[in-house]
Copies of this chain bind each other. A is one copy, B any other.
Amino acid sequence: MISDRLPPFSNGLQNIPESFIREILKVSAQPDMISFAGGLPNPEFFPVDKVAEAAEKVLTRDGKAALQYWVTEGYMPLRDYVAKWQSKKMGISVDPESILILNGSQQGLDLIGKLFLNPMSRVLLEGPSYLGAIQAFSAYQPDFHHVPIHSGGPDLDKFSTIMEQINPLLYYCVPKYQNPTGNRYDEERIHGIAKIMKQSKTILVEDNPYSEICFQADNVSNFIQVIPERTVHLGSFSKIVSPGLRLGWATGPKEVIRKMSVAKQASDLHSNTFVQRIIYQFLIDNPLNDHLNNIRSFYGNQAELMLTSVRQHFPENISYIEPTGGMFIWVTMPEGLKSRVLLEKAIAEKVLFVPGDSFYVNSNGGTSSFRMNFSNPTRTQIERGIQILGRLMKEMV
């Protein structure tokens, strides 16, 4: 409670849910804990030496500029690199002026909230959805709705019905290797949703931090390719270079990006000048695909091992989405079984995961599901942890 000598906190602040994941992560510091709860990239793949080289080059060549204030939009060579890279990758033409550099794509979510949401504005989320998006948007007090997602994306009839019913201001989704489900939208769903969106005024927020962590070639379109006039697309260097460097970007309709930069200026003036130059230097000095291929094959093997263990040890009546990228597996137990009950038993045996209701507004769903991370635990931990969870579930039936 705030002291009665101080004013109350704002309605927006009071509306932000505190993360249950943070509470779980405190437990994960205990020794011998097997944690599938985190969402951390594996630090073995951080390019420490190459970041050091880039940092040295930046400071030696242009140290004073690298430590000075900069324009809100970002360091132009980096914006230009991102524009060219994304244009080539997606076969579209991205204007560098339409790239805004952010403090990680999480900041993009806050700025989109600031840009569009008034209290009770309707926001359509996937069910389940990324917790950080729920938190970021919550500060602007929207009226949230979930559309269930399954392997391949939401059911198109259901999506169309809910769009008509609630006519949302935003649809927020993570079409490639979603956090928490690992799900990827298929081509049919991308086009089907785009078609429905075109009949609306809804802004589509395409959050895309995981797309480079694909375990096999991925030719499915992005929304920014199919419905660019209505899509705000968020990218991130967190899973490509390093999350501690806190850099991402937004791209989308020019007027939206321009206003987002006004909102960013009011929020923190601009992103770190030094680190923008480091990431740019890293990108031009190193073949990105070699680096990414290492991560892809390691994460793919980890996912494969976790899936194999799940098939071997979990009860037969559970279901899961088989991930083809990203860092997570989402498991759903038969309806009677509660993941919070499983978690309590699991903690007693030193295994952690995140219960599914954490990914729904007001914990309004996912009570029989849970999220497991495979990027960070060791192979031994994966095998042992899944075995324990399997035994506990079988005991609960």
Which residues of A are interface residues toward B (Cβ below 8 A)? Answer: 1-3, 5-7, 9-13, 16, 18-19, 22, 40-41, 43-44, 46, 48-49, 51-52, 55-56, 59-60, 63-70, 103-104, 106-107, 110, 114-118, 121, 132, 135-136, 138-140, 169, 201-203, 229-230, 238, 241-246, 253, 255-256, 259, 262-263, 265-275
Residues of B within 8 A of A244 (CB): 66-70, 272-274
Question: Do A7 and B48 contact each other (CB < 8 Å), given the known contacts A2-B256, A67-B43, A110-B266?
Answer: no
Per the bound structure, the CA–CA distance linking A246 and B267 in Å amounts to 12
A136 adjacent to B266 (CB under 8 Å): yes
Known: A10-B118, A48-B63, A63-B52. A267 touches B267 (CB 8 A): yes
Q: What residues on B are CB-neighbors of A118 within 8 Å?
A: 10-12
Does A268 lie within 8 Å of B106, measured CB to CB?
yes
A6-B203, A230-B5, A242-B68 as given contacts; A13 in contact with B114, CB under 8 Å = yes
29 pairs, A vs B, C-beta closer than 8 Å: A1-B255, A2-B256, A3-B255, A5-B201, A6-B201, A7-B169, A7-B201, A10-B116, A12-B140, A13-B114, A13-B259, A22-B265, A40-B69, A46-B63, A51-B67, A52-B59, A55-B55, A56-B56, A68-B242, A68-B244, A69-B244, A103-B271, A104-B268, A107-B268, A110-B267, A135-B265, A244-B273, A246-B271, A246-B273
A135 to B: closest C-beta gap in Å: 4
Query: In the complex, are the beta carbons of B9 and A259 less than 8 A apart?
Result: yes
A16-B263, A270-B246 given; A43·B55 CB < 8 A: no
Query: Which listed residue, B60, B121, B268, touches A246 by the CB 8 Å rule?
Result: B268
Chain B neighbourhood of A44, CB < 8 A: 64
Task: Please give me the residue from chain B that is nearest to A53 by CB atom.
Answer: B59
Inter-subunit contact A103/B268 (CB<8 Å): yes
The answer to whether A245 touches B272 (Cβ under 8 A) is yes
